Structures are given as C-alpha cells and as structure tokens.
Amino acid sequence: MSTVLASLLLPAAAAHAADPQDKQMSEVVAEATKENDFKAERASSPKYTEKLVNTPQTITVIKKELFEQQAATTLTEALRNSPGVGTFFLGENGNTNTGDAIFLRGFDTSGSIHVDGVRDVGSISRDVFNIEQIDVLKGPAGTDTGRGAPTGSINMQSKQATLENAIAGTIMGGSGSQKRATADINRVLNAENGIAFRLNVMAQDSESAARDVVKNKRWGVAPTVAFGLGGKTRAHLSYLHVKQDNIPDGGVPTIGLPGYTSPDATRPYISNAPMVDPEGFYGHVSDHDDVTADMATVRIDHDFSPALRIQNTARYGKTKQDYLLTAFMGNTVNLMTVPTAAYPSIDPANPSTWMLNRTTRTFKDVENRIMANQTVVTWDVTTGALQHTVVGGLEFISEKQTSYGRAGGGVLLPTPLYAPNPDGSLDGLNTVRTGAGSQGSTDTQALYVFDTIKIGEQWMVNAGVRVDHYDTDYVSTALATTGGLTATALNSSDTLTTGKLSVLYKPTPNSSVYATVASSKQPPGGANFTLSSSASSAANPTLDPQETTTKEIGTKWDFLEQKLAFTAALYRTDVKNELEQDPTNTAVYYQNGRKRVEGLELSVQGQVTPNWMVSAGYTHMKTSVEAGRVVTAAGQNALSYTPKDAFTSWTTYNFPFGLTVGGGVRYNGKLLRGTDGAVGTPAYAKSYWVADAMASYALTKNVDLRLNVYNLADEEYVAAINKSGYRYTPGTPRSASLTANFRF
C-alpha cells in the first residue's frame, strides 16, 4: 500500500517544483491536460439519461485518454482499469479460451459484450483502435440488454465522425518485437449540411514479450460518415473490418508451481521438480487463430423537439474464426518420467530428460452472424410537480452460430518438458471438415420502458421493465459409428421479464445516495446458442432460466468543480436455478443450486489539479455457494476465478515544460480454480502486485514520445489457470514500448 500512496503523492510534491517558463510548451501541456481527462460525464447508452453522479448503479467508464496512455491495445488490457475484471480462466482440459474471456464479479461475462449497445458475437480478441470509451456495467443488466451474464455487461462505444478537421496517429515498437501503427483522420466534407467523414486504421505485427512463438498479427479499418451533424436529423454510417492472423497460446505446465504435488503416488519425486521456463511454447508452429470480423452499422437520430428524441440502430455483423491449438494434459498418462522403449534415455532422477505428450489438437471452425435493429425513444415530460424522462424501446435481434467439425492436423511426438520443441514433425498436417458440426440460432424480440422521475431538486426514482421473447433452435450433427451422420434437433423458447427499481437522494447538487434492486435472466443456451438433451447440462431446454437479483446501495460525489468523481457501493447478487446433481441418485439433477456474490467497490476518477489526473478502484468480494456442491479445487465455499480483493490505479502529472510522468499498480487476490478430479495440481493461483510506469515528452505541439514500462519489479505471476490446474498463462515479465503520437 505504501507503493500506492507514493505513486499518488509524488506528483503533488512535483507540482510545487514546477516553473512555467516556456509559453508555447505551457500551451502544449494545457492541450494535453484537456485530452487526458479520465472522468466521463455519462455512460454511452441512451438508456442512461442522467449523468453518472445521478445514475444509481456501479458503472466504470474507461475513456480512451486513459487506456491510450497505458498503450493498451485490446479490450482485455483496457479492462485492467476496472478492479476484479479480467481473463482469469484459461479453459477446461486441453481446450483454451480464446479472445476476451472476461470474468466479472464471479461469473463469465464473455457473452455479454456489446458494441454501441448491440451484442457482439464471437470468441475473439477485440482491438480498441476504434473505441472512444468502454462502459463496464456492474450488476444485472437484464433490463438494459436482455439475456446475459448474472453480474453485468460491457459496452464499447465506437468513434464517430465530428465537425472538426483532425489527424492523429501512433507508431509503436516494443518488447516482443512489437510493431504497431494507427491513424485517425476526421474531415468535414460540408459544414453547412453537417457532413463529415472519419477513418480509423490499425496494423500490428507483434510477437509476445512473455512467450516464445506466440504471435499477435492483425489489421483493421473503420470508416464512418455522418450527415446532418448539428441538425435535428443525424445519420451515422459505419463499417468495421478486422483481420487477425495469430498464433495462440495454450499455456505452460503448472509443474513446480506452489501447491503442485505428484499426480502419481508411485512417482513422488515429481513433487520436487522445478518450474518450467514460462517463456516455453508447448504448441506447434502450425497452430493458428485466424479471424475475420465485419460489422456494418447505420444509426439515425432525430429530435422532434428538445423534449422528444428517437434513435434507430441497424447492425449486420459476421465473424469467422479458424483456430488450431496443440494442447496438452499434464496428467499421469502424459507426463513421461520413466524410460520407455521409444525413449530409453528418460531418467527419473534427471528432470531435463522428462517428456510431455501433446495429445490434443483443438479445432474451432466457427462463423457467427448477427442482424439487429434497435429503436429508442426518449421523452422529457412534466406532470404536475414531477419531471419524467421516459425511455422506451423495441429490439429485434437474430443471432446465428455455425460450427464445423474438423479432423486431421497430424500427430505430434512428445516434447522435452523443460525444452519444448515447437517445430516437431507432424504426420498429416492438413485438417478437413468432417461433415459433423452444429448450428444454433436465437431470434429475440424485446420491449422495454424506463422512467426517471425527479421529485423536486433532491429526489429521483427510476423504474424499468423489459420483456424479451426468444426462440433458440439448435441442430447438432455427429459422425455415426456405423458411418454417415446423425442429427439431433432441439428448441427452446420463452418470454423473459426483468426489471429494476431505484431511489436516489441528492444531499448536494453534485452528489447522490441511492438504493437499487434489479434482476436478470439467462435461458438455456442463452450465452452460446448451444442446447443439450443431457440431464446434466445447464443447456437442457427443459430447464428454467438462471435468475439473478442484485441489491445495491451506494453514493457518488463530484468534487473539485465536478472534475473528480468518487463512488462507493455495497451490493449483494443472488443467482438461483443453478443445476445440481442429486447426491444419492447421480442420474437425477435439480435446479436447486444458489450462488451469492456480495461486496464493496470504491473508485475515484478525474483531475486532482489541472495537471494531475488519477483513476483508481478497489473491490472486495465475498462469494459463496448458498445451496449445492462447492466446486473449487481447494474445497473452499467460494466461486472460482474471482479474486477476493482487487485494486487498480493509474495517475499522471503534466509538467509545464512538456514532460508527463505517471504510472500505477494493480493487485489481484488469489484465484481459486474449479475442479474436475485432477490430482496434484495447484488449487489456486497466488495473489500478485504489478507496477507500471509511463513518461512522455512533447517534442512539438503536434508530436510527443511516450515510454511505457510494464511490470517494473519483474514479478512472476499466474495470469490465468485452467480448470484442472495442469496449465497456466504466465504473466507478462518486465517489458517496454515506445510510442510516437502525432496530432494535427
């Protein structure tokens, strides 16, 4: 904690030493200060009509000014600014989660990611080159976004054309052969008619600062044109195309980590084996994660009057993913520590001779499509002494996921455990579609209405209800043992009703105290369009939806002329209808499971002084299984992959002579992993602190250089661990990047 206080207080001391001598450089700093404000006034969705200080819900808004200072390039990296949110879960068995596998307040939120308020589909890593701000909405989001994760959702707001000519861009290089460039060009085409064009482009070709062989290569282009800016009717036409050509990371064995013991009682010496090199790559150079994503959006806004507004958003999106990962299971069968006929040189007493079988080649050949149309009407009306802001909307969404079965890919020979060989020979490299696969689709029609009622100057009441009717069809095609194919068709449909109610009191014009209760629901197959006839599957269409209720009390205060925001909230989330196995008759399952997450969250964002910016957050979570089987490997009654305590911070100070310095620290408490019967593997990943630093200097009014250094203390930590505990993703070691930023 002393490190945290030092990082916050040192800039204040430096402020007294500042000596503004150069007028031109002072103007540069003033402009930089304006651009680097971390505090947002509002969430991006039109469903949130009030400023954040008057919004009765925990919402973390991460502005581009913040994540750009940190040189964050993906959604996962940007979400480090929200405490306790991250990609802590690596996957099950030999499978590895791909893309933004986000856990939020104890539950997987990967299926509740939205772009401009529309659900974004596909298990891909999202680049932030075209993102203005990221809203992390905590608590049930059912009334706002429909079916979804129990504990919240994430919305990414895209950059749009404006009536200002501007050019900006970056050129970045860094550890892991990082190479990245972006450009952001905005042009006013016709000021009188409010026509403007904006183009954002990105190209990256990088290896990994933490891992051998792993590659992150992608490019993207995002044009948008706007009509009628400044008028009553405004139209935005946007397109996004991203192409990724990556080599994925399957992690490294957990052997030698704290908590690891021999999985085989006949080989106790394995317990004393050293850790593997965290940079080692246990896959094959033929592994790939190829993604093509396209998204076309038309948004039209019209003001009938200052009190009546309408917005319509139409979206078509398509994402294709071709994925191949060579994985392993570090269990007794695959961990070779005794000589065999094929490997007579293995010596039980010499770990450097041990071998590891790579028996799993994981395929993903998936295509996701979405068509959506959303209409939102906002009406400000006064009835007597009450001022209402009514928001009503209709949504029509059609989502489809097609998954193709593949076979082939070759058989890899075992690799030395402590010197993995990614270039090992393969027998039959090419993969082919087998004819097996699945197709799932969900069509949803939704109607919702919210009313924010202002009662005098100090009281506000917000009530909302949403009704969703969904219809999910799922067809699975499998290879029959007698040859040919067999198909299974399943269907699930229902009408879901969710709601929220809050009361807010304003002690001062720039503060609030509130209480909120809200609900959400997730039907079978609601997260991944997959249904199952198995009695043990939560995707069985005969089951009731998972239901969630969150109660929250909190307070929000804007200080220092509304430039610094402080929030605090206490909450409890209860999730019911979890599927549980009968302890005596193991063939029978009941929906009597209940889980709970309760906690405290604190945050501060904004300007302490005109030159001193800060963003920090802390969360404490207590999680438990209220009814049902405890599934953490440690046997502790808690939810897996959820840190009990988490802290994040970032602060910068702008000196009057063009220098900006800053940095922050992050803390994640230990992560309890799930259990699937694995023996000898670590039951949890240890807690860790990571410190980062940044310094930038304005060479001219238009160009500055920024140096980012990550993990200053070169801390070794586990960033994510898989369910069995055989594999983990090592945290990034000390690394750096240098960025040239330009703007005109």
Mark 260-283 as b/e (b = at least 16 C-beta within 10 Å). Answer: bebbbeeeeebeebebbebbbbbb
Both tokens of 739, joined, read 């960025």
Query: Closest Cα partner for 709 from 726, 725, 695?
Result: 695
| Structure confidence at residue 99 as a pLDDT band (50, 70, 90) | confident
Residue 574 maps to a domain:
yes
- Are 444 and 455 within 8 A, CB to CB? no
Q: Which residues pair with 104 in a beta bridge?
A: 107
Q: Which pLDDT score, from 0 to 100, does residue 483 have?
A: 77
Domain extent for 638 = 52-743
Amino acid present at 213: V
pLDDT band at residue 363 under the 50/70/90 scheme: confident
3 state DSSP class of 11 = helix
Q: Is the Cβ–Cβ distance between 202 and 179 less than 8 Å? A: no
With beta carbons less than 8 A apart as the criterion, state whether 623 and 642 touch: yes
Q: Please count the CA atoms within 13 angstroms of the CA of 610 that sit on its side-chain side.
A: 10
Residue 327 has pLDDT above 90, yes or no: no
Q: Average pLDDT, stretch 698-717?
A: 97
Q: Are 438 and 475 in contact (CB under 8 A)?
A: yes
Instruction: Indicate whether 17 pLDDT > 70.
Output: no
Task: For residue 6, give the DSSP letter.
Answer: H
Q: Distance (Å, rounded) from C-alpha 356 to C-alpha 335? A: 5
For the ranges 23-27, 100-104, 652-656, the lowest mean pLDDT is seen at 23-27
Buried-state track 157-195, b at ≥16 Cβ within 10 A, e below 16: bbbbbeeeeeebbbebebbbebebbbbbbbebeeeeebb
Residue 142 within a domain: yes
CB of 501 closer than 8 Å to CB of 517: yes
Distance of CA 171 to the CA centre of its chain: 25
Return d(Cα 278, Cα 717) in angstroms, integer. 10
Residue 244 is assigned to a structural domain of this protein: yes
Q: Could you tell me if 674 and 632 are in contact, meaning their C-beta atoms sit under 8 angstroms apart? A: yes
Mean pLDDT of 402-410: 84
Predicted confidence (pLDDT) at residue 35 exceeds the cutoff of 60: no
Residue 160 tokens, joined: 């749009």
118-122, 133-137, 474-478 — which is least confidently predicted?
A: 118-122
pTM over 0.75: yes
Residue 664 forms part of a structural domain: yes
Helix (H) or strand (E) holding 28: helix 23-35
Residue 353 burial (C-beta neighbours within 10 Å; 0-12, 13-18, 19+): middle
Which amino acid would we find at residue 368? N
Q: Name residue 370's beta-bridge partners.
A: 317, 399
Model confidence at 426, pLDDT cuts 50, 70, 90, reads low
Distance CA 713, CA 76 (A): 22
Per DSSP, helices labelled H in 344-495 are: none
CA 352, 353, 359, 364 torsion-angle sign: positive
Phi first, then psi: what are they for 220, rounded to 5°?
A: -150, 155
Q: Structure tokens of 596?
A: 């709970």
Res. 32 pLDDT band, cuts 50 70 90 = very low
Within a domain: 46: no
Instruction: Check if the beta carbon of residue 293 is closer than 8 Å to that of residue 318.
Output: yes
Q: Are strands 459-479 and 564-581 parallel, antiparallel or unpaired?
A: unpaired
Per-residue pLDDT of 223-252, as tens digits, reads 999 999 999 999 999 999 999 999 999 999
Q: What is the DSSP letter of 723?
A: T
CA angle 627, 630, 633 (to 5 degrees): 170
For residue 180, the Cα-to-chain-centroid distance in whole angstroms is 21
Domain assignment of residue 12, yes or no: no
- pLDDT above 90 covers a percentage of the chain that reads 78
Closest-CA residue to 85 (of 30, 137, 10) = 137
Quote the CA–CA distance of 14 and 706 in Å, as a whole number: 19
Helix or strand holding residue 294 (H, E): strand 288-305
Is the distance from CB of 529 to CB of 400 less than 8 angstroms?
yes
Sign of CA dihedral 337, 338, 339, 341: negative
Report the distance separating Cα 662 and Cα 239, nearest Å: 35
Across the strands, what pairs with 140?
none
Average pLDDT, the chain: 91
At residue 559, the pLDDT reads 95
Is a pLDDT exceeding 70 seen at residue 636?
yes
H or E element that contains 622: strand 612-627
Q: For residue 497, what is the domain's CATH number?
A: 2.40.170.20
Report the domain count for the chain.
1
Q: Cβ(720)–Cβ(688) under 8 Å?
A: no
Read off the pLDDT band of 429 (50, 70, 90). Answer: low
What residues pair up with 595 in beta bridges, in sequence order? 575, 625
Is the pLDDT score of 645 beyond 70? yes
Does residue 459 sit within a domain?
yes
Averaged over 721-729, what is the pLDDT?
91
pLDDT tens for each residue of 376-398: 999 999 998 999 999 999 999 99
Q: Is the distance from CB of 522 to CB of 392 less than 8 angstroms?
A: no
**pLDDT average, residue stretch 469-494:** 91
Question: Which tens digits make up the pLDDT trace of 133-159?
Answer: 999 999 878 899 998 889 999 999 999
Ramachandran region, residue 139 (left: φ > 0; alpha: ψ -120 to 50; beta: rest): left
Mean predicted confidence (pLDDT) in 313-318:
97
pLDDT of residue 427: 56
Residues paired with residue 586 on neighbouring β-strands, in sequence order: none
Closest CA to 514 of 462, 566, 572, 565: 462
| Mean pLDDT calculated for residue range 361-366 | 89
CB 253 within 8 Å of CB 273 = no
* Mean pLDDT value across residues 621-643: 94
Q: How far is CA 529 from CA 86, 155, 565, in A?
A: 23, 21, 40
* Whether the Cβ atoms of residue 459 and residue 487 lie closer than 8 Å to each other: no
Residue 489: inside a domain, yes or no?
yes
